[in-house]
Amino acid sequence: MGKDNVVVLDFWASPYGMRTKIALAEKGVEFETRQEDLWNKSELLLKSNPVHKKVPVLIHDDKPICESLVQVQYIDETWSKTGSFFPSDPYQRSQARFWADYADKKVSFEAGRKIWGTKGEEQEQGKKELLESLKVLETELGDKAYFGGDSFGYVDITLVPFYSWFYALEKVGNFSVESECPKLFAWGKRCLLERESVSKSLPEPEKVYRQVLKLRKLFGIE
Ligand code: GS8
């Protein structure tokens, strides 16, 4: 078998692209990232993800795979020798899928946008909704090191990219995730410190904050 050719069409600030990069790094797969200009998408992106036209796209030996969580599952099944992101018990596996789905729906780019892309009442509502979801996730985490228990798994990979957005959201929205959800915040820090896959896939919080300020200006908020 020849060497795998793995490309990720990405945008550095995309939490979804971070999931895919973390999963590949966890499996020790070498890959190339190609940065997309989301205002001027490449032909390759439009051809590879004709339905949503979004990043990330994972291209494995010229075959495109769309949607970050589908990609994480594909990566898990394709490079399976190093162990799985999922528990082996079917019930435990169903629970991991449930929580990843919850995190994907509730702690999303759109949920963040309700904070960084708004002001006043609308922003207060956005903060309230995000913190409610984070508290639900914090309860599920409980005293475990990771959502997967002792091992870093599917739910961790799904949620941890958003840790790199917390700082920007806190600065713009004037609140603190650490004081509202201390265990969840500590979990994010732990992932960053203990998993190289995470530390090399997440951008600097300051850089995300600068991007958010740029977007606020672009959209004429303030
Ligand atoms: C979300 C991808 C997405 O929103 C996934 O892969 O999990 N459910 C998908 N990608 C955004 C960048 S991050 O916010 C994107 O590509 N936007 C470009 C556009 O909407 O035109």
The CA 56 to ligand 1 mean position distance, Å, reads 7
- How many structural domains are present in the chain? 2
Q: Are residues 114 and 71 in the same domain?
A: no
Q: Are residues 200 and 121 in the same domain?
A: yes
**Beta pairing class for 32-35 and 6-10:** parallel
Q: What is the pLDDT of residue 181?
A: 98
Which of 24, 56, 82 is the last residue in one of the domains? 82
Which of 43, 62, 82 is the last residue in one of the domains? 82
Work out the average pLDDT over 183-191: 98
Q: Binning pLDDT at 50, 70 and 90, where does residue 2 land?
A: low
Q: Are residues 164 and 123 in the same domain?
A: yes
Rounded CA-CA distance 113/189 in Å is 23
Q: Are residues 204 and 105 in the same domain?
A: yes
Q: Are residues 120 and 183 in the same domain?
A: yes
The CA 88 to ligand 1 mean position distance, Å, reads 30
Atom of ligand 1 nearest to the CA of 19: 7
Q: Which residues pair with 58 in a beta bridge?
A: 8, 65
CATH number of the domain bearing residue 185:
1.20.1050.10
The CA 62 to ligand 1 mean position distance, Å, reads 21
- Is residue 10 within 6 Å of ligand 1 at its C-beta? no
Q: What is the pLDDT of residue 200?
A: 98
pLDDT digits (tens, 9 = 90+) for 67-105: 999 999 999 999 999 899 999 999 999 999 999 999 999
Which of 65, 82, 99 is the last residue in one of the domains? 82
pTM of the model: 0.97
Q: Are residues 127 and 69 in the same domain?
A: no
Q: Are residues 44 and 147 in the same domain?
A: no
pLDDT digits (tens, 9 = 90+) for 107-151: 999 999 999 999 999 999 999 999 999 999 999 999 999 999 999
Residue nearest ligand 1's atom 17 by CA = 54
Instruction: Give the structural domain span for 37.
Output: 6-82
Work out the average pLDDT over 6-16: 98
Q: Are residues 68 and 103 in the same domain?
A: no
pLDDT digits (tens, 9 = 90+) for 29-61: 999 999 999 999 999 999 999 999 999 999 999
Q: Are residues 191 and 133 in the same domain?
A: yes
Q: Are residues 96 and 51 in the same domain?
A: no
Q: What is the pLDDT of residue 3?
A: 83
- Is residue 46 within 6 Å of ligand 1 at its C-beta? no
CA distances from 172 to 10, 113, 118, 124, 134 (A): 25, 11, 9, 11, 18
- Is residue 48 within 6 Å of ligand 1 at its C-beta? no
Find where tokens 């309230």 sit: 128
